[in-house]
Amino acid sequence: MEEEFEINDSTTGNFDFKGFIVKVFSYWYIFLISILIGLGIAYYINVRKLPVYQLSSLISIKDDQNPFFTSNTSLTFNWGGTSDKVSTAFTTLNTRTHNEKVVEHLQYYLLYLRQGEYQKEDAYGQTPFTIEVDTAQFQALNTLMTIQFKDEAHYELSLTREEAGNVQTMRYSDRESSSLFLENGTFKTTLRVGEDVNLPFANFKLLRSENPLVVGKSYFIQFLNFDNVVKAYQNIRVDAQQKGGSLLTLSLNGNNKEKIVDYLNTTAQLLSENMLKRKNLFATKTIRFIDSSLQERSKELKGVESEMNAFKRENAIVDIAAEAGELRAKLTTYDTEERELERRLSYLNSLQEYLESRSDYSNVPAPSVAGINESSISNGVTRIVSLSEQRSKLGYSLRPGNPEFDDIDRQINATKTVLLENIRSSKELANSELKSIRREIASLEAQVGGLPEEQQDLLQIERRYNISQQTYNLFLGKRNEAGLIKAANVSDVLVIDEAKDVGGGKIGPNTQLNYVMALLLGTLFPLIFVFVIVFLDNKVNSPKDVERLSPISILGMIGKSKQSSNLVVYNKPKSAIAESFRSLRASLQFIYKQRNITGCKTVMVTSSVSGEGKTFCSMNLASVFAISGKKTILLGVDLRKPKIFDDFEIDNQVGVVNYLIGQKNLDEVIQTTKYDHLEVITSGQVPPNPSELLMNDKMQELMLELQQRYDYIVLDSPPVGLVSDALNLLKHVDATLYIVRQNYTKHAMLGAINEKYKKGEIENISFVLNYFQQKAKYGYGYGYGYGYGSYGNYGNGYHEEEESKKSWFNKLFKR
């Protein structure tokens, strides 16, 4: 027999993106609900988020030279220039040590709170009181205490614990931690303003501030872990106005603008004090060195002066002779030079030993104290001290082994090598000069030997007195010089624009971002949901699915019926579904004509499983044949689960089974209906052996007799996917309609019929897509030309539309 269908062997296809998009839009209500939920959550978060502010201050790290600085008063060092100062300031502002000082100075480990609209808010600088914390006593951490004023002089302190347990405590003076057991319940006590509070969990003094007092309003205080607070403030942002420049912008974020202002200004203040202290480092240590030397020289001078006066009284000598005076003057000059060279050599020896044996070079006194004005040595000492201070500073922020430590150590070693070489050269020169001066002194002392003995003794005493007095005057001058320099020094930190609350400064929360995220996530989750549905969906949803899964062609598509009765063709003859059955009838007639089938024509309606609309289609297909004036009989051969009798208002007492077992003849099993040209043979009572009955010769006789009487025979057969009964009937029919229900028939159900079709066990078979919805979630209602009766707006006026009695609201929630 000639094939009437063109078979497509391809059973696989690409992902139907268009169908997926249409299906996504079909779940619009899920997207809408998800987006509304997301926006609701975003709104809930936004209205409860505290505002975030950012304030800043501007400082300059300048190289402010002392106005009294000269080559002879070089008691300060410049940290290696402005760039090093800026780098040091950068590092210092983010170090733990510096921020510990700021937090301790401002007592930011104490949190002031008040009740806001949705949550407690930071009330720093806005409370009618301030707290002086007793840092020598332990305070309970993270324990909320309530303060409520009774009047101007009294307040109530309360603490509520829901459950008993240990709480962490801290003593802020030395950061020591401990623990304290607190009972559950509420503790209350009334105290006087200014009274010392000494409780196991809190030790402080409450004082009134300038803010107005509201009696009965509650405020809250809470002690925080000191280290955690410092760590939070170490994120202060430091930015240079331009690369390599000395202008720095300090900025900080927080929920309380007054708190940010105080922190920025205090951190700049403490940085200024710290840098001034370091700038005065040489002067301070030099003054300490000179003071100790002056004490020794003062004692020595007084002793020599007393000895000289006593000698003059004992020997009745007022003054030495002119010749002796001239020798004294020369010896005094040489003695002074000798002392200076010895002091210089002593400093160089001490400096050399210090450099060779020490690793901390921050305590080296100024070379100018020893009369060393060589720039190579002064600059070398300054450089080493600067690098040593820089290395110590990095120890607060960097871990040991950091490459920056190695770099600084290399610079120190290089500078030390050059400095030691300069020290050796200076020592050689000083020793040479010292030998020359000592020869001159020895020559003059030989001349003194010719003077009278009393004159010689007095000359020796006066020599020692003059040396002591000159040394004392030298140190006294250096002391005054160092004090003047220290007093005239100013910090290299200049606050150009201090932090101030001038309004604005709000940078968060970013409510728009939350709403955007709500839209994105509100769209993403339903999209994933739809994708999973599509990915896991193993049901036939469209004609494309059928074409992809089977080589058997689709003969027609039947829409979704909203009627309570299965007889749609009779009840709604102008409906879209009735028209689709007419199209199906025309397609079958084309097949019969193509196969040259004349006389009675037979068609069997089957499916994979029960519930796919097989009986519905067979009943309406028989109806459209009968309406056309053809004598038609509907034969119920589904002997296991008969259904076709109720809608025709007939009974199932006698049917095919009775004929096949020989109980009744054909006329006795045929039942007429109230519709013209349509008769029905029901299946009858369910037999124990339905397959065997359909296989015997009586079935052949039945079909032959029916073919003599009728123009069309429609067989309502059992599902092929469940039983083999329908296969026994294939030899009696001219065409087979295999019903596939949209969103019900599974992909795997078509596998069995595909296999039989390929093996040739089933021929002349076509698919009918039942329960098809053109505007459903599948997006496949476009022109296949399979006889689907509804053509969108083009069908208006030709078909009776089924009016829904439900409102759109009910439809939405039904879906």
What's residue 540's pLDDT? 84
What's residue 795's pLDDT? 43
Number of domains in the chain: 4
DSSP 718-741: PPTTT-SHHHHHGGG-SEEEEEEE
The Cβ of residue 193 has, within 10 Å, a number of other Cβ atoms equal to 17
CA distance 458 to 450: 14
What's residue 244's pLDDT? 66
Q: Say whether both 105 and 180 belong to one domain.
A: yes
Q: Quick check: 426 pLDDT over 60?
A: yes
Highest mean pLDDT (candidates 104-108, 385-389, 489-493, 594-598): 104-108
Q: Which of 229, 247, 268 is the last residue of a domain?
A: 268
Q: Say whether both 528 and 608 belong to one domain.
A: no
What are 471-503's pLDDT values in tens digits?
777 777 777 777 776 666 677 788 889 999 888
Q: Say whether both 477 and 560 belong to one domain.
A: no
Q: Quick check: 82 pLDDT over 60?
A: no
What are 662-713's pLDDT values in tens digits?
998 999 999 999 899 999 999 888 888 888 888 888 889 999 999 999 999 9
Q: Which of 242, 268, 294 is the last residue of a domain?
A: 268
- Positive or negative, the CA dihedral 417, 421, 423, 424 is positive
Q: Is 8 a member of any domain?
A: no
Q: Is 244 a member of any domain?
A: yes
Question: What does the block give as tokens for 225?
Answer: 């872990």
Q: Is 88 a member of any domain?
A: no
Exposed e or buried b per residue across 79-110, where buried means at least 16 C-beta atoms within 10 angstroms of its C-beta? bbebebbbbbbebbbbbeebbbbbbbebebbb
The Cβ of residue 461 has, within 10 Å, a number of other Cβ atoms equal to 18
Q: Which of 424, 453, 488 is the last residue of a domain?
A: 488
Q: Quick check: 790 pLDDT over 60?
A: no
Segment 108-112 long-range contacts (CB within 8 Å, at least 24 positions apart): 108/229, 108/233, 108/259, 108/263, 109/133, 109/172, 109/223, 109/224, 109/225, 109/226, 109/229, 110/221, 110/222, 110/223, 110/224, 111/221, 111/222, 111/223, 111/224, 112/219, 112/220, 112/221
Q: Say whether both 364 and 423 belong to one domain.
A: yes
Q: Quick check: 69 pLDDT over 60?
A: no
Q: Is 185 a member of any domain?
A: yes
DSSP 421-454: HHHHHHHHHHHHHHHHHHHHHHHHHHHHTTS-HH
Q: Say whether both 189 and 316 belong to one domain.
A: no
What's residue 322's pLDDT? 63
Q: Which of 609, 548, 540, 544 is nearest to 747 (CA)?
A: 540
Q: Which of 160, 167, 175, 159 is nearest to 229 (CA)?
A: 175
Using a pLDDT cut of 90, give the percent of the chain over it: 34
Q: Say whether both 45 and 149 belong to one domain.
A: no
Q: In terms of pLDDT, which residue wins out, 157 or 494?
A: 157
Q: Say whether both 306 and 261 belong to one domain.
A: no
Q: Is 124 a member of any domain?
A: yes
Question: 110-115 and 678-681: which strand pairing?
Answer: unpaired
CA distance 246 to 387: 20
Q: Name the amino acid, one letter, at 98.
A: H
The arithmetic mean of pLDDT across residues 7-11, rounded, is: 39
Q: Is 32 a member of any domain?
A: yes
Least confident of 191-205, 415-429, 444-458, 726-740: 444-458
Q: Is 6 a member of any domain?
A: no
Question: What does the block give as tokens for 414?
Answer: 């290089």
Q: Say whether both 583 and 681 belong to one domain.
A: yes
Q: Is 740 buried (19+), middle (13-18) or exposed (0-12) by CB count in 10 A? A: buried
Q: Which of 89, 240, 9 is nearest to 757 (CA)?
A: 9
What CATH number is given to the structural domain containing 553? 3.40.50.300
The arithmetic mean of pLDDT across residues 2-30, rounded, is: 61
Q: In terms of pLDDT, which residue wins out, 74 or 676?
A: 676
Q: Say whether both 289 and 414 belong to one domain.
A: yes
For residue 53, list its beta bridge partners.
254, 506
DSSP 405-417: HHHHHHHHHHHHH
Q: Domain range holding 548?
A: 543-814
Q: Say whether both 176 and 150 belong to one domain.
A: yes
Give 3's pLDDT tier (boundaries 50, 70, 90).
very low
The arithmetic mean of pLDDT across residues 775-785, rounded, is: 44
What's residue 253's pLDDT? 93
Q: Is 91 a member of any domain?
A: no
Q: Say whether both 531 and 654 belong to one domain.
A: no
Exposed e or buried b per residue across 667-684, where buried means at least 16 C-beta atoms within 10 angstroms of its C-beta? eebbbebebebbbbbbbb
What is the reported pTM? Answer: 0.55
Q: Say whether both 548 and 529 belong to one domain.
A: no
